[in-house]
Amino acid sequence: MELEGKVALVTGAGSGIGRATALLLAKEGARVGVLSHTEDEIREAAEEIRRAGGEAIPLVADIADENQMKKAVADLVEAYGRLDIVFANAGINGVWAPIDDLQPAEWDRTVNTNLRGTYLTLHCTVPHLKRANGGSIVVTASINGTRTFTSAGATAYSATKAAQVAMVQMLAVELAKHRIRVNVVCPGRIDTEITENTDKRNTGEAEVAAEYPDGNIPLTGGESGTSEEVAQLVLFLATDRSRHITGTPVWIDGGQSLLV
């Protein structure tokens, strides 16, 4: 129970990495605000935590909407009295298409969700971490835009992921005096539904030939990582075991991003 007495916010907690992490943080004693824009999904996640003996409050909000995020964070702090851990995980792959095909509205949606959403999550939560005299922020980025640049048509997505790493490193310095640590996880292929939810269009125009005869994830022979494995990394970064780590991107991809 490493996190007993702590309060955590997990965005994108309705499925995948977010849900696995919310469950694990609660198992370790944290009271968790589980946030998603999908009400049914997030209520199910909160109920799953409660059935396992943990404490959770469902929070429904669009991370790119300032007023919704302010209310969600206020509701969490009102319920549990404090905030110590923030996992800014919510995001989308958006549309992957050649740059001359990708439409401005499609670009804006990806940037607003991934980058503005991360900004608003931190903008609304950092004052509470300061009042708690410290805490841990973890952001979900990706191997795309940080080590890998061959995902055809993923320019908007990759740009937001690279920007998240820069944001984390800037804030690690800015917030250090408040004893707030800020780190970023960069998953490779993980067994979530985000790939299936990616809208790909004419990506052949943007593709670069690459061949991986032994599979493109060396550590597992091509098998995807799991949401639970990413959750274990987030747990480490949320606890005092990582108390001297800040401003650090951690790639969790089984060596996938080292192939190209």
Sequence-ordered list of residues with C-beta below 8 angstroms from that of 25, at least 6 positions apart, any chain: 3, 8, 10, 32, 85, 87, 234, 235, 238
DSSP string, 139-161: EE--SBTTTB--STT-HHHHHHH
**Tell me, what's the pLDDT at 226?**
95
CA distance 77 to 174: 23
Task: Write out the residue range of the structural domain in which residue 181 sits.
Answer: 7-258
**Tell me, what's the pLDDT at 188?**
94
**Tell me, what's the pLDDT at 134?**
98
CB of 64 closer than 8 Å to CB of 116: yes
Q: Is residue 163 part of a domain?
A: yes
CB of 66 closer than 8 Å to CB of 89: no
CA distance 103 to 107: 6
Sequential pLDDT tens for the chain (260 residues): 899 999 999 999 999 999 999 999 999 999 999 999 999 999 999 999 999 999 999 999 999 999 999 999 999 999 999 999 999 999 999 999 999 999 999 999 999 999 999 999 999 999 999 999 999 999 999 999 999 998 999 999 999 999 999 999 999 999 999 999 999 999 999 987 555 567 866 667 767 665 554 557 888 888 889 999 999 999 999 999 999 999 999 999 999 988 86
Q: Is residue 1 part of a domain?
A: no
**How many angstroms separate the Cα of 43 from the Cα of each of 33, 61, 113, 165, 227?**
11, 12, 21, 30, 19
CB of 5 closer than 8 Å to CB of 79: no
**Tell me, what's the pLDDT at 218?**
85
CATH of the domain at 50: 3.40.50.720
Structure tokens at 66: 């300032």
Q: Is residue 127 part of a domain?
A: yes
**Tell me, what's the pLDDT at 198?**
73
Q: Residue 119 catalytic?
A: no
Catalytic one of 80, 119, 157, 212: 157
**Tell me, what's the pLDDT at 220?**
83
Q: Is residue 2 part of a domain?
A: no
Domain count, the chain: 1
**Tell me, what's the pLDDT at 195?**
58
Q: Is residue 166 part of a domain?
A: yes
Q: Is residue 235 part of a domain?
A: yes
CA dihedral 205→206→212→213, nearest 10 degrees, is 0
